[in-house]
Homo-oligomer: A and B are copies of this chain.
Amino acid sequence: MLLTPIGAVLAISFVVYNILKVRGYSEGTNEVKAISAKIRRGANAFIKRQYTVVAWFFAVMLVVLCAMSFFGFLTWFVPFAFITGGFFSGLSGFVGMKVATMANSRTATASQSSLNKGLRVAFSAGSVMGFTVVGLGLLDLAVWYYLLHYVFKLGIADVTAAMLTFGMGASCMALFARVGGGVFTKAADVGADLVGKVEAGIPEDDPRNPAVIADNVGDNVGDVAGMGADLYESYVGSIVASCALGVAAFPQFNNTPGNPAVTIPMAMAGIGVIVTIIGSFLIRTKENATQKALLAALRRGTNFSSIAIAIAAFPLVWFMLGQEHIGIYGAILSGLVAGVGISFFTEYYTSDNYKPTRELADSTKTGSATLIIGGLSLGMLSTAIPLLLVCASILVSFFVSGGAGDAALGLYGIGISAVGMLSTLGLTLANDSYGPVADNAGGIAEMAKLDPEVRRRTDALDSLGNTTAAVGKGFAIGAGALTALALIAAYVDRIEALVADGLEKGLEWARNFDLNLSITSPTVLVGIFIGSMLPFLFTAMTMKSVGRAAQAIVVEVRRQFREITGLMEGKADADYEACVDLCTRSALREMILPTLLAIAAPIVSGLILGPNGVIGLLIGCTASGFMMAIMTANSGGAWDNAKKYIEAGNHGGKGSDSHKAAVVGDTVGDPLKDTCGPSIDILLKLSSMVSIVFAGLVLAFHLF
């Protein structure tokens, strides 16, 4: 159990080390500094206003949860666990964003020397993000665990129940951050492109474009802060769900302090920190490395970590649970293998090194319509293999863990397989989040009119980042689906525990309730239907949000081009703040409704259909959400890379008709891959967490 606090301390130390390392690099010329400062100011202003809105939401939820505690539906720890989850999730995003806005100018400056040096700055900033998430997650878990179990002497079942709420706080924060940040970044991006590139014919990141600073701010608040909050939630979600399932699977340990079934997920995470820190030191190349060599270096780090985890997990399971449960080690392996498989196929479908994206680029020859048809079908087709991998992982984890004899063991195995997949998160996330830093650095290089070679280098980094980001997304979605299933299983356990408790107290609702999970029962069936619909509705809402916000930006940018004399000639400055402010207001307005949907849907459905219907809803939502998440991520990624492939000189290169068609595809894909897809991933888990927290209420009051 000591591994968890050790991991937390190590991760946080590594974060401090990397922050100092980033600060040590030169910030560059005054012009670079000035542009970076503008971006930083915009990002800070957004985060401040966003977190204020979110704080109000948390205050309201605190009152609601306290009221529920007062009426006996929850323990009094729950409201506070909820708050700390939200706080740490928000803090993860905040730290990542701070460092990213510090590193962008330094990456641009370092790229003046070499590609490799640029990568090192950007990657250090990415590591801050990755290890902040991991470190804060483990810290919070460890503190609550010790506090509840050893100080308040709570039974292990109550400890894990309270810790699940902690996950709900993190999920709420994550959804706000993802949707808000996602709307901000894509509204700015799409808006800037539509007027700048398409109408005015000026290049990307041209300082004459009034939305250019907003676009760069967006990278930091959406792709960095949003992603940080998001993955914090996945990470702790998978761990707390497995802990809760461990309680049900190993009742024999429930009275021994330090229940090994509960500590294994946390210990795995602790080991994960150690091996990924080592792995990140393996990522180094020669000074004049090619892009391919850089990618190979990144892969070396992640491969090392995965293999090291696979080795270290064996003695962990063997000594803590004993030889008869070594099958659970098989579950960990199956999670790792599925994760690697999903990553590979994500890369296959979205990288322009492979056939699908090249064929997609070909389809631009007959215009944007065939490109859109091709991209949608590519995305839908690409769901098949990841889905089958997850299904295989479910079956393997369940049966090797002993699920045939005791279903609780099998479900614990599924939870543990998600933990296995996410144990290398620190490094995956570092790989994933240096991309936006490089993207920003490119913007700064363009605006500060640095040597074009600098832009070429940051573009190389950015494109490398695109591949690693797509792979990271595949990983996150796969782990998200498994985590969601683990949470659903934890929900079923929770319902059973509450009913048993209610029967003991002789309550009427407990006597009337019948846990009937048969798939042909109408409430379960209707639950599955409604659940399948939620990701569609949610995607529609977030897409519409981006569309609305982008249209507002288009209007504003056109106004500035029209009204500010000398802007197009470069003689007058654009009013960048107006665009940043507009994006901020749009994002804050648009993030409310989708989040409320995610919270309200399981509660309202529960009050009508009862817990059986909720379980159907959660499973339907996980199934169709997984598909939508993969489809949106891969369609978007493939369109983006098809455009990059054409820009690299194929099919006529930049400015050709094919390129114009490809820009349309990229614009359609942007909100899909960066706003909708990643948010669905949170939706799956948030709806499960909400159901768990409101289980007592729904059990006591429901229509069918």
A residues with a Cβ closer than 8 A to B are 190, 194, 198, 363, 366-370, 372-374, 376-381, 383-384, 387-388, 390-391, 394-395, 398-399, 403, 407, 410-411, 414, 485, 488-489, 492, 517-526, 528-533, 536-537, 539-541, 543-544, 546-547, 550-551, 554, 615-616, 619-620, 623-624, 626-627, 631, 663-664, 667-668, 671, 704
Contact = CB atoms under 8 A, between A and B. Distances in A.
Closest 8 CB pairs between A and B?
A: A380-B540, A369-B667, A381-B540, A377-B543, A532-B623, A377-B540, A398-B522, A380-B536
A664 B520 contact: no
Nearest to A381: B540
A384 B671 contact: no
28 contacts: A194-B369, A194-B370, A366-B554, A369-B663, A373-B546, A373-B667, A373-B671, A378-B540, A381-B537, A384-B536, A384-B537, A387-B529, A391-B526, A398-B522, A399-B522, A403-B522, A407-B520, A410-B522, A414-B522, A518-B519, A519-B615, A519-B616, A528-B619, A528-B620, A528-B623, A529-B623, A529-B626, A532-B624
Nearest to A485: B525
A391 B550 contact: no
Contacts of A373: 543, 546-547, 667-668, 671
Given A369-B663, A372-B664, 5 more contacts: A377-B543, A485-B525, A519-B616, A532-B627, A624-B624
A395 B526 contact: yes
A518 B518 CA distance: 5
A398 B543 CA distance: 36
A383 B521 CA distance: 23
B664 A551 contact: no
Contacts of A619: 519, 525, 528
B551 A370 contact: yes
A532 B532 contact: yes
A547 B363 contact: yes
Nearest to A532: B623
Contacts of A381: 536-537, 540-541, 544
Given A367-B664, A522-B410, A536 B374 contact: no
B380 A529 contact: no
A384 B522 contact: no
Given A394-B525, A398-B522, A520-B411, A537 B370 contact: no
B394 A537 contact: no
B522 A377 contact: no
A659 to B, nearest CB: 14
A435 to B, nearest CB: 23
B520 A518 contact: no
B370 A543 contact: no
Contacts of A519: 517-519, 524, 528, 615-616, 619
